[in-house]
Amino acid sequence: MNLKVTKELPGAPANIEMAPPYLVPALTAETPDTARRAAVMAVLTPVNAGGTKQELLDWEVLLTQRHCYNGAHSGQVSFPGGKRDRKDADFWATASRETFEEVGLAGDRLQKVAELTRIFIPLTNFAIHPFLALRLDNAPILPNPREVAGYHNFPLRLFDPGLARMMDFDCSDGINRPAPVWLYEGYSIWGATAMVLSEIFRLADGDGFAVF
């Protein structure tokens, strides 16, 4: 089974649907040259043939739970990913390396589907390069307890921006600000992770994928 993007990426408008209001200007501006670089991997697992939009929306996306610590992003739900290493050939290599380190899925078990829209987060000065990948087999997910507190696979249909609500969150600088969030079985999914998920949902909901 393979997955292909058949339409133009929804881009910043989809990211903005799940962006905290203070981040919106940064999503339509140039990323500064001084930004630190990171990459994340959105891994989709097929649960059916994917022949229709409704079937595709049942496919599951892998998210991890960060450990709680004294710092930005403590305890948050996120994609596997992290900072680019000098040894990484490109951002796909960064995302693949981090995915293997965090949840044990090697790059040869994933099909690269697309590089999604880059997101710049001014408060942490990170430019995040998201990738969408298809899990090619039923290889087990083996979370590394030193890297993540756990993981969960969520149906893609949960990430309709129309299902979000507004809540206040600590936005990495000790200040609580409102942000759209999805609440599901005790998980709060918001921030950059939610912005990426919004773009993937809009692709699926807009018939932007082909399965072959």
pLDDT at 138: 84
| Rounded Cα distance, 145 and 58, in Å | 28
Q: What is the pTM of this model?
A: 0.94
pLDDT at 73: 55
pLDDT band at 53 (very low <50, low <70, confident <90, very high): very high
What average pLDDT does the segment 28-43 reach?
96
Examine the pLDDT at 164 and tell me if it is beyond 60.
yes
Beta strands 36-45 and 126-135: pairing type?
Answer: parallel
Map out the domains of the chain with their CATH numbers.
Answer: 3-207 (3.90.79.10)
Question: Rg of the chain over CA atoms, in angstroms?
Answer: 16
Query: What is residue 195's DSSP assignment?
Result: H
Residues 6+ apart with CB under 8 A from 30: none
User: Considering Cα of 154, then 160, then 165, then 169, what sign does the dihedral take?
Assistant: positive
pLDDT at 88: 97
Beta strands 119-121 and 110-115: pairing type?
Answer: unpaired
| Rounded Cα distance, 165 and 182, in Å | 7
What average pLDDT does the segment 45-73 reach?
88
Examine the pLDDT at 165 and tell me if it is beyond 80.
yes
What average pLDDT does the segment 30-44 reach?
97
For the stretch 199-212, pLDDT in tens is 999 999 999 999 99
